[in-house]
Structure 1
Amino acid sequence: MAVRASDRLDVMGTGVATVGIIMASVGFGLVPYFARGLTSEGMAPHAVAFFRYAIAATVLLPFVWQARAEWRALLWGLVAGVAMGVGWIGYVRAVEVAPVSTVGVLYMTYPVFTLLIAWLVFGDRPGRRAVLAALMIIAAAALASSPAAVPAEHLPVLVLSLAAPLGFGFGINVLVHRLSGLKPLARISCVSLGSVLGLLPLLVATPIEALRPATVEGWWLVVGVALGSALVPQMLFTVCAPVIGTARTSIAGSFELPTMFLVGWFAFAEPVSLAQWAACAMVIAAIVLTPGKPIRSIAGNAAVGGRECGNG
Structure 2
Amino acid sequence: MKNLKYSFMVLLGGILYGTMSSFVKLSYSRGYYAAEIAFSQALLAALLLGTCLLIAGKGEKPDRKGLLSLLLVGSSAGLTNFLYYQSVSYISASLAIVILMQFTWFSLLLEWLIFRQRPGRPALVTVAFILVGTVMAGDLLQPGLSFSWQGLMLALASSFTYAVYIVANSRVGKGVRWQAKSTLIMTGSALTIFLINAPVIVSANHFGYTFLSWALFLAIVGTTIPTALFAAGIPKIGAGTSAILMTIEFPVAILCAYLVLQEAISPLQITGMMIMLAAISVMNYYKSLKN
TM-score, reference length from structure 1? 0.76
Choose from 114, 125, 134 the match for 1:132: 125
Q: Any idea what the Cα deviations from partners look like across 1:131-167, whole Å, max 9, x if unmatched?
A: 3333322222233341518943423311222111111
Paired residues of 2:38 and 2:81 also in contact (CA < 8 A): yes
Alignment length (residue pairs)? 286
Paired residues of 1:86 and 1:198 also in contact (CA < 8 A): yes
Unaligned 5+ runs, structure 1 = 1-9, 301-312
Paired residues of 1:108 and 1:165 also in contact (CA < 8 A): yes
* Structure 1 match to 2:165: 171
Do structure 1's residue 35 and structure 2's residue 29 form an aligned pair?
no
- Aligned-residue Cα RMSD (Å) equals 3.4
Q: Secondary structure at the match of 1:205?
A: helix
Q: Secondary structure at the match of 2:148?
A: helix
Unaligned 5+ runs, structure 2 = none
Shift of 1:246: 7.3
Choose from 105, 120, 135 the match for 1:142: 135
Choose from 66, 73, 93 the match for 2:86: 93
Question: Structure 1 vs Structure 2: percent identity of aligned residues?
Answer: 21
Q: Any idea what the Cα deviations from partners look like across 1:97-155, whole Å, max 9, x if unmatched?
A: 32221111111111111111121123233344333333322222233341518943423
Counterparts of 2:173 and 2:144 in 1: how far apart (Å)?
38
* Structure 2 match to 1:48: 37
Q: Any idea what the Cα deviations from partners look like across 1:21-52, whole Å, max 9, x if unmatched?
A: 54433211111122112222222212111122
Paired residues of 1:46 and 1:199 also in contact (CA < 8 A): yes
Counterparts of 2:276 and 2:122 in 1: how far apart (Å)?
14
* Structure 2 match to 1:285: 278
Counterparts of 2:114 and 2:237 in 1: how far apart (Å)?
30
Q: After TM superposition, list the pairs within 5 Å mapping 1:200-219 onto structure 2.
A: 200-206=194-200, 210=204, 212=206, 216=210, 218-219=211-212
Q: Which amino acid aligns with 2:195?
A: P
Q: After TM superposition, list the pairs within 5 Å mapping 1:232-271 onto structure 2.
A: 232-239=225-232, 252-271=245-264
Paired residues of 2:21 and 2:93 also in contact (CA < 8 A): yes
Paired residues of 1:52 and 1:226 also in contact (CA < 8 A): yes
Where relative contact order (Cα < 8 A, 6+ residues apart) is larger, the structure is 2
TM-score, reference length from structure 2? 0.81
Relative to 1, partners in 2 of residues 1:266 and 1:286: Cα closer, same or farther, differing over 3 Å? same
* Further displaced range: 31-40 or 141-150: 141-150
Relative to 1, partners in 2 of residues 1:178 and 1:127: Cα closer, same or farther, differing over 3 Å? farther
Relative to 1, partners in 2 of residues 1:206 and 1:183: Cα closer, same or farther, differing over 3 Å? same
* Structure 2 match to 1:157: 151
Q: Any idea what the Cα deviations from partners look like across 1:167-201, whole Å, max 9, x if unmatched?
A: 11122232234443434443322222111111113
Q: Secondary structure at the match of 2:200?
A: coil
Paired residues of 1:44 and 1:211 also in contact (CA < 8 A): no
Paired residues of 2:98 and 2:137 also in contact (CA < 8 A): yes
Q: Secondary structure at the match of 2:213?
A: helix
Q: Secondary structure at the match of 1:262?
A: helix
